[in-house]
Structure 1
Amino acid sequence: MNINIYQIDAFTSEVFGGNSAAVCPLKEWLGDNILQDIAMENNLSETAFYVKEGNRYNIRWFTPTLEVDLCGHATLATAFVLFHLENHEGNTIHFYSEHSGELTVTKQGDLLTLNFPEDLTEEIELSQDMLDAFDLNPVEAYKGKSDLLLVYEHENDIKNLKPYFDKVGKLDCRGVIVSARGDTVDFVSRFFTPQCGINEDPVTGSAHTTLTPFWSKKLGKLEMTAIQLSDRRGYLKCKYVKPRVEISGHGKLYMSGTINIK
C-alpha cells in the first residue's frame, strides 16, 4: 500500500519556521493502529489524515502517542495541501471532525483562515502543582475545555519561562498554555503538552481558540495579532466572531513523498 504524504510548515512564510505537520490523503479510513503507527513514525507534533466525503473532508489528527480532538496547525497544513497540491476547487474547504464538528478554512491570496469553535475559560485558583511546574509564578490561572491557561505579566516572562516537564505532565489537562500581553503584538504564548507526547508544541492553533476570546475580553478588541514564542516562532492573526474564532496564517511546503506499507 502506498500513501501520499506531505510535510507542511504552518503559521509561517518560511521553511523551518512555524509548526510542521504531516498530511496524508486517504481514499478510505485505515485501522486506528495503522494511523497511530504512521504518526509515531513521522514523529511530528501532529499528523493529519483526511477522507473526502461528498463536498466535505473528514479529518483526524494524531500525535506520536494518541489521537486528539482538535488541531489547528495540522488543519491549516491540510488546507494548504488541498488548495495547492490536491486540486481542491474554490476558496473554501469544509472539514468535519467527530470530536469538533464543522470546521472551515478559507483562502485569500496566500493567507489561510481557520474558523473554529471558541473555547471559553473560567478563572481558577493557582494550585501548588501549577506553581511547581514552572520556574516563574503566573499571576492568574484559567481552565478551558481541555487546557490550563496561565497568565504572566510580561512578554519576556513567556520568552524566558522554564517548564519542569515531569511536573507539567502530571497536571490534569491536555496541556498548559502560558500567555502575556505582547510588546509588538497583542499577545504572546507558548504551549506545553508532555501529556500528549510533545514537551513544547511550536505553534498551536487550537490553543488560540482559548486565547482569542480570553484576550478579546481583556483587551476590548475583536481582531488581534499574536506570536507563539517557541524556537520556531509562529505568527497568527486572530478574530473573535462569537461563538467562533478565526485564526489566520500562512503555510510552506517542506516535503512531499510516499509512505510504503507492505
Structure 2
Amino acid sequence: MGSRIVQVDAFTNTPFGGNPAAVCLLDNLRDDRWMQHIAQEMNLSETAFLLREGKSFRLRWFTPAVEVKLCGHATLASAHVLWEEEYVQPNQTIYFETQSGQLTAQRHGEWIELNFPATPETAAEAPAGLLEALGVSALYVGKTTFDYLVEVESEDIVRAMQPNFSALIKVPARGVIVTSRARPGSDYDFVSRFFGPQVGVNEDPVTGSAHCCLAPYWSARLGRTELTGYQASARGGIVRVRLDGDRVHLGGQAVTIMRGELAGR
C-alpha cells in the first residue's frame, strides 16, 4: 500500500473555490527529495506531509519548487482531512509540529480555527523594481520575515492588477502581499492578493500565512482585533482573523475534492 493523499480546497465552502492543497498521510519517514517530487507531481501551490508523532503530527509544506516554513491553507486542509478521516475526534485539538513551532487547529462547527504566529511588518523602502513589476503606486511598503507588504489606494486597484512575474521574481522575498481597505458596505474589512514567483507560485489563490501579517496590520489601522479578509484572486477565499497578542487565529472552511493512493515508493 502506498501513502494516502487527499486534495482539499481550503478557505472556501464551495468546491473549486479557495486554495487547493494536497495532503499526504505518511505511515513512515520520507526523505526530502521524495516529498519534493510528490509536490512537483501534484503541481499545486502546496502539498502538505503529515506523520503522527505521539499525540501530535509532524507537518511539512512543499511548493512544486521548494519547502516553505509556514503555510496556512495547507494546514487548514490537513486539519480538515484529519477530522474527516477520523484520525482525531471532532472535539479534539490538533497539534502540528512545524518549522515555525507548534501550531494548533480547533473545530467550531463548519469552521476551522488555526493558531499561528503573527508576522508583523516594519516600514521598508520598496526594493528596486518592485512597484514597477506590480504596476501600482504604494500608500505604504513594509517587510515581514517572509514577504513585502504593499498597501494601495483601493480594492479596485487590488483586483485589476496584472503583475509582470518575470520582473517580480527578482524581488528578494518569498512573496509580495498587496492589500487595501475593502469597499464601503462590504462583508469583509480588507482585501489582498499574494504573488510568490520565487517559490514557484505566481499567484496564490488564498494565503493563510499572509494573513499573519495582514491581521496585525489592519487591526492597528481599523482599531479592531477581529476582522474578515477577502483574497481577491480568480478563485477567491474568505479568511477570518483574530489578533491575540503575538498570535493570529485564522478561521476558514474546507471541502474535499479527491482521495487517492500514491503508488510510487
1:195 match: secondary structure: helix
Q: 1:242: which partner in 2? A: 245
Residue 177 of structure 2 corresponds to which residue in structure 1?
Answer: 177
Give 1:200's aligned amino acid: E
**Unaligned 5+ residue runs, structure 2?**
none
Aligned to 2:48: 48
* Structure 2 match to 1:190: 193
**Structure 2 Cα separation of the partners of residues 227 and 51 of structure 1:** 31
The answer to whether residue 85 in structure 2 is matched with residue 82 in structure 1 is no
Structure 2 SS opposite 1:212: helix
Q: CA deviation at 1:85?
A: 1.3
Determine the structure 2 residue equivalent to 1:228: 231
Equivalent-residue separation in structure 1 for 2:125 and 2:53 (angstroms):
45
Corresponding residue number in structure 1 for 2:264:
261
Whether the 8 Å contact between 1:91 and 1:108 is mirrored in structure 2 is no
RMSD: 1.0
Matched, 1:201 2:201: no
2:215 matched residue in structure 1: 212
SS of residue matched to 1:2:
coil
Give the partner amino acid of 1:163.
P
SS at match of 1:64: coil
Q: Which residue in the other structure is 1:35 paired with?
A: 35
- Structure 1: 5+ residue runs without aligned partners? none
Maintained 8 Å contact 2:103/2:114: yes
Contact 2:111 2:252 in 1 (8 A): yes
Deviation at 1:192, TM superposition (A): 0.2
Q: Retained in 1: the 8 A contact 2:127–2:171?
A: no
Is 1:96 the counterpart of 2:133? The answer is no
What one-letter code is carried by the residue in structure 2 that aligns with 1:255?
M
CA distance in 2, matches of 1:82, 1:249: 15
One-letter amino acid matched to 2:239: L
Cα distance in 2 for residues equivalent to 1:107 and 1:134: 37
The TM-score, its normalising length taken from structure 1, stands at: 0.97
List per-residue Cα deviations over 1:179-226 (Å, max 9, x = no partner).
000121111000000000010000000000010011111111100011
Q: Supply the AA of the counterpart residue of 1:95.
A: F
Cα deviation 1:145-202 (Å, max 9, x = unaligned)? 0100000011111000111101111001000000000121111000000000010000
Deviation of the 1:87 alpha carbon:
2.8
Q: Which residue of 1 aligns with 2:124?
A: 124
Shift of 1:128: 3.9
Preserved CA contact (<8 Å) 1:175 1:191: yes
Aligned counterpart, 1:7: 7
Deviation at 1:91, TM superposition (A): 3.1
* AA aligned opposite 2:222: L
User: How many matched pairs?
Assistant: 261
What's the CA shift string for 1:86-144, capped at 9, x where partnerless? 431233101110x2001000001110001000001111123441221122222210000
8 Å contact 1:126–1:140 — kept in the other structure? no
Aligned to 2:255: 252
TM-score, with length taken from structure 2: 0.96
